[in-house]
Structure 1
Amino acid sequence: MCPAGGWDGSTGMRACNSRVLAVLMPGAGICLGLLMVLAACQRNLIYYPVREDLSHLLRQAQSQGAEPWYDRRGALIGWTLRGEGRPTAEGRGRHLVVFHGNAGHALDRTYYAEALFSLAGSPWQTVSLFEYPGYGARDGQPGEKQILAAADAAVGELVANGEERIFLLGESLGGGVAAALAGRYPKRIAGLILITPFTRLADVGRVHFPYLPVRWLLRERYDTVAALRGYHGPVAVLLAGRDEIVPARLGRELYQAYEGPKRRWVQARATHNGLDLSPGAGFWNQATDFLLGHAQP
């Protein structure tokens, strides 16, 4: 009970308000402090880079049949693997660039090249594994702005080297990167493979932090839906039916929102990191046929 005051109870009400504020203010301060810490440290919750010495990665690359991919200034972009794919009618090879997820580093993903090169009569001649700033042996710090700027520069390098039409594969977070490039360069990107993609990073955050104002706190956007509005080429989407990191419903929503040529595959029992991406998986042959059947020359 609040104490009674003057004829209108004002003195008692002021005393009551003071006591309520005295109780609420520390709690509000703690909550605000927690939100500020989460806002400041959010990149540590998004990016999980594995750093490696370049000499170690060069030895690993050699053992896996990969070679370093450098820019014109000699800075590392990522890694390249070469197959024996058949050229296009114009005599050009088909080149696919992989943008990996938020953990590990690019050289962990050589299995994508193995799967594509193993196809009967494989059309793929080159698979490049793009490395994010702050991952592997690449300098810098990971962040959406930094990653997209580096990816943009990588496309520029490929174009400068005569690559006219490039295919992109984006895995999880990498789907946001691939979609951003497709939206920026719709005439350069011949097709996309998106593996466990999401609509927007904020939508993923809301799944894992449902009681926090994620949209207000999150500085990293990766708005895949918005990025693909500027793209009209073929998009192949692979979802994990039991995805515990990026719920499959977000991939379905992205798929429904995209208005260009598209095809979807679902591995119903797979978790986020449990998809069958082995060379024998039927997805690779079907996705390749779909992309090449709809890609503009």
Structure 2
Amino acid sequence: MKNINSKRALNRMFWTLLIGYALIVLVVAVFQRRLIYFPQRFSPAVAEQLASQNGFAPWRSRSGQIIGWKMAARGISRGSVLVTHGNAGCAAERSYLAKPIHDALTLDVYVLEYPGYGAREGSPGMKSFLAAGDEALAGLPKELPVYLVSESIGAGVVAHLAKTQPSRIKGLAMLVPYDDLASVGQASLPFLPVKLVMLDRFQPARWLEDFRGPAIVVLAGADEVVPMKYGRRLFDGYRGPKEIQIVPGAHHNEVAEQSPEWWKEVFTFWQQNVPRQN
């Protein structure tokens, strides 16, 4: 009798644990985008005020919608820099990324705002981010070279642009990037089947397989958000001209702000390795 009761108790425990685990997986699957995207939201007036305080002017699409913020080149522009920011905050606060580039180079700097961030309508997600990137690139002057700069999750957007429109892209700089977002998510929650349920499968390493433009990768040695090995995998697999910089002891949010002098060196590297036209 005791054996039967013990088996029943073990059975109940097994099914209780299994159902509990399944519920956890279900909750993570349903609310996964809330675990990935952390947008700051503002009214249009507040967003414009914040952007203006940070030295930005509105960047509008052909339809007149604000799709980001820009800093116009001082003098005759030599090209455009499109910046795709990380998964938190908003574009209007990315002056720490844009201003050093603007101060260093005679380039127009555009910081893309993602759908669902700042005052921009829409919802965060891979599909909306990639569509926003396509729209942004289409709106840049076609007679000027375009350089792409990404921060964290933004690596997925620039990699996709380099894959789909390689002839327009003359150089990349990826700050704390990753090779595959699902792999990063799986490492963060190793006890859950993240790769099975993940919806937004940004795959920079795969999308850059055929791109041969010059690329700079900057990694944080103590990155607590995107472990350094995932950015290293992206760099190691990249087949074009490339350079890597690892900042020892730096955390995820401590490498995006670089000096104007550093950006001058990046631009020199880009120019010395202009991709050949197919």
TM-score between the two structures when normalised by the length of structure 2: 0.92
Where does residue 289 of structure 1 map in the other structure? 268
Matched, 1:273 2:263: no
Distance 1:77 1:201, change over 3 A: same
Q: Measure, in 1, the Cα distance between the counterparts of 2:43 and 2:13.
A: 53
1:101-112 aligned at under 5 Å gives the runs 101-112=86-97
CA contact (8 A) 2:79 2:144 kept: no
Q: Distance in 1 between matches of 2:47 and 2:9?
A: 62
User: What is the deviation of 1:63?
Assistant: 3.0
Query: How far 1:133 moved relative to its partner?
Result: 0.2
Instruction: Please list the CA deviations of residues 219-272 of structure 1 after superposition, one character each: whole Å capped at 9, or x if unmatched.
Output: 111111111013111111111111111111111111000011111111112111
Q: Residues 195-221 of structure 1: CA distance to partner in whole angstroms, max 9, x if unpaired?
A: 000011112112211111111121111
Aligned counterpart for 1:227 among listed residues 186, 207, 215: 207
Choose from 43, 50, 68 the match for 2:40: 50
Give how far 1:59 is off. 2.1
When the two chains are superposed, the root-mean-square deviation of aligned CA atoms in Å is 2.0
Residue 72 of structure 1 and its aligned partner are, at CA, apart by: 1.5
The equivalent of 1:7 in structure 2 is none
Q: Which residue of 2 aligns with 1:155?
A: 137
Could you tell me which runs of 5 or more consecutive residues in structure 1 were left unpaired when the two chains were aligned: 4-11, 88-92
Aligned residues: 276
Native 8 Å contact 2:171 2:214 kept in 1: yes
Shift of 1:85: 5.8
Superposition pairs of residues 1-297 of structure 1, within 5 angstroms:
20-84=10-74, 87=77, 93-119=78-104, 122=105, 124-158=106-140, 161-275=141-255, 277-279=257-259, 282-296=261-275
Say which is worse superposed, 137-146 or 204-213, in terms of deviation. Answer: 204-213
Q: Is the radius of gyration larger for structure 1 or structure 2?
A: 1
Q: Runs of 5+ in structure 2 lacking a partner?
A: none
Is the Cα contact below 8 Å between 2:173 and 2:215 reproduced in 1? yes
Percent identity reads 35
SS state at 2:255 partner: coil
Shift of 1:111: 2.1
Instruction: Measure how far apart 1:176 and its partner are.
Output: 1.2
SS in 1 for 2:200: coil
Residue type matched to 1:284 in 2?
W
The 1:214/1:230 distance shift into structure 2, 3 A limit, reads same
C-alpha distance in structure 2 between counterparts of 1:63 and 1:23, whole Å: 58
- State how far apart, in whole Å, the 2-side matches of 1:267 and 1:24 are: 47
SS of residue paired to 2:252: coil
Call closer, same or farther: CA 1:129–1:277 in 2, change over 3 Å: same
Equivalent AA in structure 2 for residue 263 of structure 1: E
Residue 175 of structure 1 aligns to a residue whose secondary structure is: helix
Report the Cα distance in structure 2 between the residues aligned to 1:138 and 1:247, rounded to whole angstroms: 30
Query: Per-residue displacement from partner, 1:151-194 (whole Å, max 9, x unpaired)?
Result: 11221222xx4345311111000011111111111111111110
Q: Partner of 1:128: helix, strand, or coil?
A: strand
Alpha carbons of 1:246 and 1:184: their partners in 2 closer, same or farther (altered >3 Å)? same
Distance 1:286 1:249 in 2: 25
Q: Is the 8 A contact 1:144 1:220 kept in 2?
A: yes
C-alpha spacing 1:278/1:262, structure 2 compared with 1 (3 Å)? closer
CA distance in structure 2 between the partners assigned to 1:97 and 1:50 by the alignment: 20
Distance 2:189 2:40 in 1: 25
Partners of 1:125 and 1:166 lie apart in 2 by 10
